[in-house]
Amino acid sequence: MSTPAASYGHVFEDGRGRACVGSTGLAVVQLVAEQAAYGWSPEELHFQHPDVSLAQIHSALAYYWDHAEEIDEVVEAQLEGIRDRLRRDGPSLLKGRLRAAQLL
């Protein structure tokens, strides 16, 4: 029995080793993070990124499911970087001003 080759017609690796959607430069990890954060369907992702076709989005999501562990590690590393910056830089000045003006 032969093993089918994994092919994601619309997903390519950029010069930095990131999986990106076609020539858009949109990283697969960004689409996946948006889907997880906002619960967006492929159709909503297409609405939010009209320059990316629905076929490209489905290809990117298929790529994710075949590489979920490594992409999840990238997302977690990015989140940890954000947490580090928040710890280092403290609260946002804008957020403080909005709270003081009772706008938050």
pLDDT band at 6 (very low <50, low <70, confident <90, very high): low
pTM beyond 0.85: the answer is no
Show the domains of the chain with their CATH numbers.
Answer: 11-100 (1.10.10)
The pLDDT, as a whole number, for residue 17 is: 85
pLDDT over 80 (residue 50):
yes
Task: Report which residue type is found at 48.
Answer: Q
Residue 17 zone, left/alpha/beta (φ > 0; ψ -120 to 50; rest): left
Alpha carbon separation from 46 to 31, 32, 43 (Å, rounded): 10, 13, 5
Cβ atoms of 74 and 29 within 8 Å: the answer is yes
- Of residues 8 and 48, more confidently modeled: 48
Average pLDDT of the residues in 35-53:
96
